[in-house]
Chains A and B, each alone.
Chain A
Amino acid sequence: MSSSALQMRTAWSRVIAWLGRVFSDRYAKYYMVVPTVLYLLLIGIFPLIFSFGLSFLHWDVAAQRPLSFAGLANYAELVGDDRFWRTFANTIIFVTGAITLEVIFGFGLALLLNRDIRGQGIFRVLLMLPMMATPVAVGYTWRMLYHVTNGPINHILRALHLPVGTWLSSGKTSLLSVIITDVWQWTPFVFIILLAGLQSLPREPFEAAAVDGASRLQSFIYLTLPMIWPILVIVILLRMVEAIKIFDIIFVMTAGGPGISTESSTMYAKLVSLTQFRLGYGAAIAYLLLVLSAIVFIILTRVLPTEVGIE
């Protein structure tokens, strides 16, 4: 064997030994976690930083103005942009209105139905349909239901001799109608979780309270409420994180109208950046929304059990 071939072989075996050391089982944990972290840094965090930088630029594709540094100009414009504040108010009203109603109805129903019910499984399956249904389908379906002249909702109201609604056709009722759709979609979610929560509560404290002569209201306030509270907080925060993003259902139902009465901030940011091509300003709007959901997320991280808990 020639010496150069021998050298090659030792070089090879060195490479293999090196590879063996690098890919050794000792580092297995890094090979498991690093790809995901890298993916999210590259596809999640990098665009996020990109977008942050973008919010300090004038980048108006349609106006064919050269790209220039804007400093805080986009954020300054945001402060005085009435349309933005209207969409921000719409988003806040939507989030608080929808979630308040969902909790009231969901919790109320859970309390009412907290006992052994036969055929619970069937009801559960049927109630799960709205929360997983394709948002585009939900939006169109409710557009049909709300139709002022031919829709079944007004028909039923008329049949019951109740006043009919203007629903999506008027700026006065459109946001409420969008909220009702969300309440339809998510009340079952709140209901199912709180019912499961109530049914998993220990019985002894309630029995002891009854022996001591506590009224139903007292045992609700002093026992049920404190015990169910952590679950309620998690449900509310998770709903908030999702509701702040609202786009698809409104897009299909009203496209933000009539006027801008149902336009959410996500829709406005999309309009500004992807229809008017004012990319810098659109990024600034998106960032304000990010700050809002970051606050909710930080609160959520404080209460979300790291151990998979509450069964």
Chain B
Amino acid sequence: MVSRRTRRQLETALIYIALITITVATIFPVYWTFVTAFKDPRDAFTYPPKYLPYIQFKPSLFAWRDVGLIKDPTQRGTHDPASILNTLRNSVVIAIGSTIVSVVLGSLAAYGLARFEFRRWKNKDIAFFILSQRMLPPIVLVIPYFILYNRLGLMDTWHGMIIAHTVANLPFVVWIMRGFFRGIPKELEESARIDGCSHFQAFRKIVLPLSLPGLAATSAFTTVFSWNELLFAITLTFKRAQTFPTLVAGLTHGSAALWWDISAMLLLAILPVFIFITLFQRYIVAGLTLGALK
């Protein structure tokens, strides 16, 4: 007869094994990209595959020189570093631009909906109208954008992309920030109002500073959404304003895949995402469920 204590310990061990197994399964693909980015072409994509650096293969910066991010006069890169840097810059500008527009417009609207009562159209209806804009399949918008952008000269421009990404980011900001503002006690603003503050002043001086953590997390979310987005970017940009994911997505069509180079670029793509997760992990579930679950 196994004692109760041993049974308990066995159960705990099993649970940890299960937890570690799913974590390894989750992390392995990311790990694989990571090691591939530090392989020589001879070590990448061979059979049997090489898993362990230093033991099975010697880590190399070949890929980083090949994409031109590490300068080396002895190795002529396959890729043009100027175009990579250009797309990285475009992605950053578009992501930050869209975040600024969405957060400024969106947090005001969220505050309006959280604190005031609208009569003709009820608050709930306005909020759901705003949210519905995020739920649309983007292809319904991409086709008319393609036509209109061509006419209006917005094709392949930063502001064109910022306008497009804001349509998805703005509803997100409104929905999430509305939840944050509701959590702030009304009394603070009321006493500020008595002291002679206007609604805008109360918002700026009392509410905004209090909701700064939420605002930061929401901004980080919209930045990552925009950074990751592909469908709008691939349709509405091609050269000057081309985004980084669009560049990477086009790398293998037609030519043989240089997996070590691609892996290096994939690491660049997920680096901001990784920083975001470590900084804001508390908010991620709330963000992805639109504040319904925390």
A interface vs B, CB < 8 Å? 25, 28-33, 35-37, 39-40, 43-45, 47-48, 50-51, 54, 109, 112-113, 115, 117, 121, 123-145, 147, 149-152, 155, 184, 188-189, 191-193, 196-197, 231, 234-235, 238, 241, 244-245, 247-248, 251-252, 255, 266, 269-270, 273-274, 279, 282-283, 286-287, 289-290, 293-294, 296-297, 300-301, 304-311
Contact = CB atoms under 8 A, between A and B. Distances in A.
Interface residues of B, number: 101
10 contacts: A29-B115, A47-B141, A51-B141, A130-B29, A134-B266, A140-B263, A147-B45, A152-B32, A152-B49, A251-B249
A137 B269 contact: yes
B231 A35 contact: no
A60 B139 CA distance: 18
Contacts of B131: 301
Contacts of A115: 15
A129 B171 contact: no
Contacts of A151: 49
Interface of B: 15-16, 18-19, 22-23, 25-27, 29-30, 32-33, 36, 45-49, 51, 105-106, 108-109, 111-113, 115-116, 118, 124, 126-133, 135-148, 163-164, 166-167, 170-171, 174, 179, 182-183, 198-200, 203, 224, 227-228, 230-231, 234-235, 245, 248-249, 252-253, 257, 259, 262-263, 266, 269-270, 273-274, 276-278, 281, 284-285, 288-294
Contacts of B274: 129
A111 to B, nearest CB: 11
7 A-B pairs closest in CB distance: A32-B112, A308-B179, A36-B109, A28-B199, A29-B116, A47-B144, A248-B230
The dominant DSSP class at the B interface is helix
A144 B36 contact: yes
A219 B148 CA distance: 58
Contacts of A136: 228, 230, 245, 248-249, 266, 269
Contacts of B231: 247-248, 266, 270
Contacts of B270: 129, 133-134, 137
B220 to A, nearest CB: 10
A235 B289 CA distance: 7
Interface centre among B139, B147, B278, B294 (most CB of A within 10 A): B139
Contacts of B29: 130, 138, 141-142, 145, 184
